[in-house]
Chains A and B, each alone.
Chain A
């Protein structure tokens, strides 16, 4: 692969940006620049001899330095609403002024809100009040606007991206299943789980980077199979040889989620307003520290109403446009993706080298 200048990857300290860096480096791409918001997130990509720069998307000086000599941008960074919307605006405007040859924006299927059925890229989007989804819609709008002015932009809407280092859809799920907190959830878990192994997403990103037909396009990117959420949880349990999953009923699950909602509200308030005090006390009282940990585990271990809404959504995200336009074909079956994920998980967790030696 050849680039005139550097390929800048934002969010390189994160799950997807990190894998983009790894795969590009390992396939011989030399002209890489990894942008991280803070050095603390650099432990994974730091293992590779690539250029790393610190860049807060809201810091003009850091952005100017990071964009120097860049010919392509892969924008994987996320964050607060301001980071997503204003950060994307600044980055895309900077890329436009510099005349980059490609700007790839990683959006999300969250932009579809609660829509069901087979969802295609052309359907109209509407704000739903969900902060993340609304921010992604706005950021897409900014990219499209600059695209009309001439920025060679492509927007990707990945589905449920899993794999090694995925905090949300891998580590947390495994931890909750392993702790016996989650199981299967009857009807509530029978919605569609559109899984996408992270390497397939990187394949789509790179295809957009070099295929001119991707310019000005928005693509759903998903894996080759769709299962239910109950099935996803069951497969993880089986592959990792975890204890058998509990079968939660729809009614029981809903009652627990409803009962936990006020606790979540209080916990969020304490986190946002009194975290310093709580930490101070916890440092000085083992009992309180233990109580806080238990409460935290209880909150995290009980599925929220939002999670139930996701797990019961009957939606499939069509990838026909990506197939037809850039020849996107996902390689990883769920079995293959989970097998690699579990190898990684065992390696992380176990004492030894992970080779079974």
Chain B
């Protein structure tokens, strides 16, 4: 990988959490690594941390010097920056959600194909070993026909973003569904092998980005219930009800699941992996991206893989309705002007 020139665009929270640790393990590319951030001082700090002397606040000026870029900027910028890179025949590895709408993503996929470069995506959770095992159980028929998929996941939002793009109502009205939902809906589509049909989408938006969202969807055989919550620490779980048994897992524990065959006893299964932390899974995807550029590997996850889920998110927002929230909406106290 010594000869590769790579740029990391965006030096905020995702870079601090995932890409600095991943790139520190690849000292051979530091010489040809360019750090980009609109805050030049921030780019310089990250460059120094990674042993690079190259940094800039303008990605456009370095695209003819790199073969690939890692894009870790606020998600509403993914499309425009990715398109600029793809048009210049630069391979792209983009944070999730890779795009805000299905239309954007389809344009990105077309542009990548037209220019013969890769569009890779950091939908990390597809690499979790227990999730991969569930996929195998579904494909092999061990679980039978999946009849119900129930996913409940939530914790208090704590992402130490340097900007407020995730939660600022002046930037977007799309919240947890586009954030955590980009993982969950992608996993659901991947497990099902198809894009389900939306039956209902409810959230708690009053005009700003929602923080609790509920998706009810269906395929021919399966009913899906997915609830996302970034206001409370709740007991998260995924449950798969197949005709041959039930699989349950804690989405935060990628090393285990419970399998109960119909009429049988529950077995707890462990899945050791070489990745011990979440950021190490991201490292695996970064390594894959570099190998893709060199033509040594195929992308583990690419734009076309996540297209159904990005389209599904689009469809959800087009059907959005607000929950009944009496504890918010019913104002019984007289707020009077004297």
Contacts and interface: CB of A to CB of B under 8 A. Distances in A.
Interface residues of B, number: 59
Given A23-B333, A39-B161, A46-B167, A354 B277 contact: no
Contact of B336 (A42, A206, A354): A206
B295 interface: no
Contacts of A347: 212, 323, 325
A51 interface: yes
Contact of B169 (A27, A50, A340): A50
B123 interface: no
Nearest to A202: B333
B277 A284 contact: yes
Given A22-B328, A46-B209, A352 B214 contact: yes
B164 A353 contact: no
Nearest to A285: B276
A42 B255 CA distance: 32
A348 B154 CA distance: 9
A165 interface: yes
Nearest to A355: B324
Contacts of A286: 253, 255
Interface string B266-287: 0000000000110000000000
**A contact patch SS:** helix
B175 A210 contact: no
A26 B331 contact: yes
B331 A44 contact: no
B204 A47 contact: yes
B277 A46 contact: no
A165 B231 contact: yes
Nearest to B162: A39
Contact of B327 (A52, A163, A207): A163
Interface string A14-51: 00000000111111000000000011111111111111
Interface in B190-224: 200, 202, 204-212, 214
B101 interface: no
A63 B75 CA distance: 29
Contact of B331 (A27, A163, A207, A344): A27
B273 to A, nearest CB: 11
Contacts of A332: 332
**B contact patch SS:** loop
A46 B175 contact: yes
B338 A47 contact: no
A167 to B, nearest CB: 9
A171 interface: yes
B277 A51 contact: no
Nearest to A25: B206
A314 B91 CA distance: 69
Nearest to A337: B327
A216 interface: no
Interface string B138-158: 000000000000111010111
Contacts of B227: 350-352
Kindly state the interface size class of chain A when it binds its partner: 35 or more
B338 A212 contact: yes
A182 B282 CA distance: 41
B237 to A, nearest CB: 9
B214 to A, nearest CB: 5
Contacts of B333: 23, 199-200, 202-203, 206, 331
Given A202-B333, A211-B338, A348-B231, A39 B225 contact: no
Given A165-B231, A284-B277, A351-B150, A23 B169 contact: no
A43 B231 contact: yes
B34 to A, nearest CB: 27
Contacts of A51: 170
Interface centre among B167, B168, B326 (most CB of A within 10 A): B167
Contacts of B202: 353
Contact of B168 (A38, A52, A350, A355): A52
B234 interface: yes
Interface centre among B170, B206, B338 (most CB of A within 10 A): B338
B64 interface: no
Interface of A: 1-2, 22-27, 38-52, 54, 163-165, 171, 199-200, 202-203, 206-207, 210-212, 283-284, 286, 331-332, 340-341, 343-344, 347-355
Interface of B: 150-152, 154, 156-161, 163-164, 166-170, 175-176, 200, 202, 204-212, 214, 225, 227, 229-232, 234-235, 253, 255, 276-277, 323-338
- 5 A-B pairs with least C-beta separation: A203-B333, A46-B167, A49-B207, A43-B157, A42-B167
Given A43-B230, A199-B333, A344-B325, 15 more contacts: A39-B161, A40-B159, A47-B205, A48-B169, A48-B206, A50-B169, A52-B168, A171-B232, A211-B338, A344-B327, A351-B151, A351-B152, A354-B323, A355-B323, A355-B324
6 contacts: A25-B206, A40-B158, A47-B209, A200-B333, A348-B229, A351-B152
